[in-house]
Structure 1
Amino acid sequence: MTTQPTAAPRRTGPDLADRIHGGWLGRIAGNMLGKPVEQGEVWTRDRIDRYLERAGALPLTGYLPEPADPADRAVLRPEWRACVRGRIHGSCRDDDVDYAILGLDLLETHGFGFSTEQVGDLWLLRLPYLQTFTAERAAYRNLVGGLRPPLTATHHNPHQEWIGALIRADVYGWTCPGDPVRAAGLARRDAVLSHTGNGVYGAMWAAALIAAAFTAPTVREALESGLGVIPAGSRLARTVRRVAALHESGLPWEETLTVMSGETAGLGWIHTVPNAAVLTAGLLYGDDDFTRTLALTVRGGLDTDSTGAAAGSVAGVRTGAAGIPAQWTEPLEDTVRSAVSGFDGVRISALAERTLRLVTAGP
Structure 2
Amino acid sequence: MKKNVLLCTWLFLSALAGMACTDKQNRAVPVEVTMTKAKLFDKIKGGWAGQTIGCTYGGPTEFRYPGTMIQDYIPINWPDGYIKWYYENEPGLYDDVYMDLTFVDVFDRLGLDAPVDSFAVAFANAGYVLWHANQAARYNILNGIMPPESGHWKNNPHADDIDYQIEADYAGLMSPGMPNTASEISDKIGHIMNYGDGWYGGVYVGAMYTLAFVSDDIEYIVTEALKTIPQQSLYYQCINDVIQWYRQYPDDWKQTWLECEKKYSEDKACPEGIFVPFNIDATINSAYIVIGLLYGQGDFAKTMDIATRCGQDSDCNPASAAGILGTMLGYSHIPEYWMSNLKEVEDMDFAYTTISLNKAYKMSFDQALQVIERNGGKVEAESVTIKTQAPTAVRYEKSFEGLYPVEVVAYGRGQGKTLKEVGDLTFEGTGLILAGDVRAKDESYVAVIEAFVDDQLVETIKLPASYRVRRHELFWIYGLPKGKHTVSFKWLNPVEDADIRCSKTIIFSDAPRINQR
Normalising by the residue count of structure 1, what TM-score does the alignment of the two structures yield? 0.84
| Deviation (angstroms), 1:7 | 6.2
Please give the alpha-carbon distance, in whole angstroms, between the structure 2 residues aligned to 1:300 and 1:258. 10
Please give the alpha-carbon distance, in whole angstroms, between the structure 2 residues aligned to 1:275 and 1:143. 26
In the TM superposition, what are the counterparts of 1:212-231 in structure 2 within 5 Å?
Answer: 212-231=211-230
| Deviation (angstroms), 1:266 | 1.6
| Deviation (angstroms), 1:325 | 0.8
Which structure has more RCO (C-alpha within 8 Å, separation ≥ 6)? 1
CA shift digits 1:332-362 (9 cap, x unpaired): 214355233323xx2x233112211112234
| Deviation (angstroms), 1:248 | 1.1
Q: Which of 302, 305, 308 pairs up with 1:298?
A: 308
| Deviation (angstroms), 1:41 | 4.8
Q: Could you tell me whether the CA contact under 8 Å between 1:275 and 1:302 is conserved in 2?
A: yes
In the TM superposition, what are the counterparts of 1:1-363 in structure 2 within 5 Å?
Answer: 8-10=31-33, 11-41=35-65, 44-46=68-70, 48-52=71-75, 64-65=76-77, 84-90=78-84, 92=87, 93=91, 94-125=94-125, 127-128=126-127, 131-154=129-152, 156-251=155-250, 252-267=252-267, 268-332=278-342, 333-335=344-346, 336=348, 338-343=350-355, 346=356, 348-361=357-370, 362-363=373-374
The secondary structure found in structure 2 opposite 1:304 is: coil
CA shift digits 1:240-297 (9 cap, x unpaired): 1111111112341111101101111222421001111111111011111111111111
| Deviation (angstroms), 1:100 | 1.9
| Deviation (angstroms), 1:107 | 1.5
Change (3 A) 1:156 1:26: same
* 106-115 or 321-330, which deviates more: 106-115
Please give the alpha-carbon distance, in whole angstroms, between the structure 1 residues aligned to 2:322 and 2:42. 14
Please give the alpha-carbon distance, in whole angstroms, between the structure 1 residues aligned to 2:207 and 2:31. 12
* 193-202 or 350-359, which deviates more: 350-359
Please give the alpha-carbon distance, in whole angstroms, between the structure 2 residues aligned to 1:231 and 1:113. 26
Q: Could you tell me whether the CA contact under 8 Å between 2:29 and 2:214 is conserved in 1?
A: no
Letter in 2 for 1:122: A
Q: Could you tell me whether the CA contact under 8 Å between 1:4 and 1:224 is conserved in 2?
A: no
| Deviation (angstroms), 1:181 | 0.9
| Deviation (angstroms), 1:200 | 0.8
The secondary structure found in structure 1 opposite 2:82 is: coil
Please give the alpha-carbon distance, in whole angstroms, between the structure 1 residues aligned to 2:108 and 2:47. 18
Change (3 A) 1:26 1:255: same
Q: Could you tell me whether the CA contact under 8 Å between 2:104 and 2:170 is conserved in 1?
A: yes
Q: Could you tell me whether the CA contact under 8 Å between 2:120 and 2:141 is conserved in 1?
A: yes
The gaps in structure 2 that reach 5 residues or longer are 1-21, 268-277, 375-517
Q: Could you tell me whether the CA contact under 8 Å between 1:5 and 1:180 is conserved in 2?
A: no
| Deviation (angstroms), 1:42 | 5.0
Amino-acid identity (%): 23
Letter in 2 for 1:197: G
The secondary structure found in structure 1 opposite 2:318 is: helix
Please give the alpha-carbon distance, in whole angstroms, between the structure 2 residues aligned to 1:224 and 1:42. 27
Equivalent residue for 1:81? none
Bigger fraction of residues in helix: 1
| Deviation (angstroms), 1:202 | 1.0
CA shift digits 1:114-150 (9 cap, x unpaired): 332221111134x22x521111001101111111122
Aligned residues: 328
Please give the alpha-carbon distance, in whole angstroms, between the structure 2 residues aligned to 1:187 and 1:7. 24
Bigger fraction of residues in strand: 2
Please give the alpha-carbon distance, in whole angstroms, between the structure 2 residues aligned to 1:226 and 1:5. 12
The secondary structure found in structure 2 opposite 1:228 is: helix
Q: Could you tell me whether the CA contact under 8 Å between 1:297 and 1:304 is conserved in 2?
A: yes
The secondary structure found in structure 1 opposite 2:194 is: coil
Equivalent residue for 2:506? none
Normalising by the residue count of structure 2, what TM-score does the alignment of the two structures yield? 0.60
Please give the alpha-carbon distance, in whole angstroms, between the structure 1 residues aligned to 2:216 and 2:54. 23
Letter in 2 for 1:124: A
| Deviation (angstroms), 1:113 | 2.1
The secondary structure found in structure 2 opposite 1:30 is: helix
Change (3 A) 1:89 1:147: closer
Q: Could you tell me whether the CA contact under 8 Å between 2:98 and 2:353 is conserved in 1?
A: no
